[in-house]
Amino acid sequence: MVEINNWATPSMKEFIFWKDDMSPEEFEIEQAYYFGKMRDPSKRKQYIPIWQQRLKDNSKKVFIDETWASPYMKGFDFWRTGMTVDEYEAAYQSYFEKLNQK
């Protein structure tokens, strides 16, 4: 059986938010969300991975909060405060597709 996520290291797969069919961009967003929530002690108990939130409510929009977005995420020209995770993922994929076409 071929592993779907051969891009991920074993240590990446140990994170609490890991799931087997995760893409690199999903990992980046989940990692930023996780560490952003862990910075605030009052929000630690409220942490639920984004993908688990979507299992409960597929229509739920998760907004990227300025406080948990990583510097990597904010470094893209498409970044804007108040984006949803879905908007960010679509812009991220589009950005790299354009790069690959060059």
In 1-102, which residue ranges form alpha helices assigned H by DSSP? 24-39, 50-56, 71-74, 85-101
| Sign of the dihedral through C-alpha 81, 86, 88, 90 | negative
Mean pLDDT in consecutive groups of 10 residues from the start of the chain, 102 residues = 70 93 89 85 82 84 85 90 91 90 80
**Looking at residue 1, what is its pLDDT?**
39
pTM over 0.85: no
- Domain map of the chain by residue range? 22-101
H helices of 5-57, in order, are 24-39, 50-56
CB atoms within 10 A of CB 17: 18
